[in-house]
């Protein structure tokens, strides 16, 4: 399963009401580190399918969500469990570093 596009419309259902932990990637198409991180996020979505939901939030299209999460720099990755933020990371991270956020 690929990453899920998270919007203001599906945020409640896909993130807050998710029974699985959710890894959210706040990104933008013009952001070079975001483009470098994208394949890593995709790999994690495949590797942890059924265990962790992986969502992507385009900060240009979803400014309200970005604002709600106080996103100042991207990429900004957030780990959410039971509707609560348990971990965050700003900037490019390796697959190993992101996996440490998941476990």
Active site residues per annotation: 31, 34
- HSE, side-chain direction, 13 A CA sphere, residue 25: 30
Q: Which two tokens stand for residue 86?
A: 């348990």
Do residues 23 and 79 lie in contact, with contact meaning Cβ atoms separated by under 8 Å?
Answer: yes
Do residues 55 and 5 lie in contact, with contact meaning Cβ atoms separated by under 8 Å?
Answer: yes
């Amino acid at each position: 399963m690929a990453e899920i596009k998270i919007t203001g419309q599906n945020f409640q259902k896909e993130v807050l009401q998710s029974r699985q932990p959710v890894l959210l990637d706040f990104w933008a198409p013009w952001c070079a580190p975001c483009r470098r991180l994208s394949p890593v996020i995709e790999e994690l979505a495949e590797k942890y399918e059924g265990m962790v939901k992986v969502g992507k939030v385009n900060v240009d299209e979803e400014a309200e969500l970005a604002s709600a999460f106080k996103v100042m720099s991207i990429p900004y990755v957030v780990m959410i469990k039971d509707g609560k933020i348990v971990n965050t990371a700003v900037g490019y991270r390796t697959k190993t570093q992101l996996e440490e956020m998941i476990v």
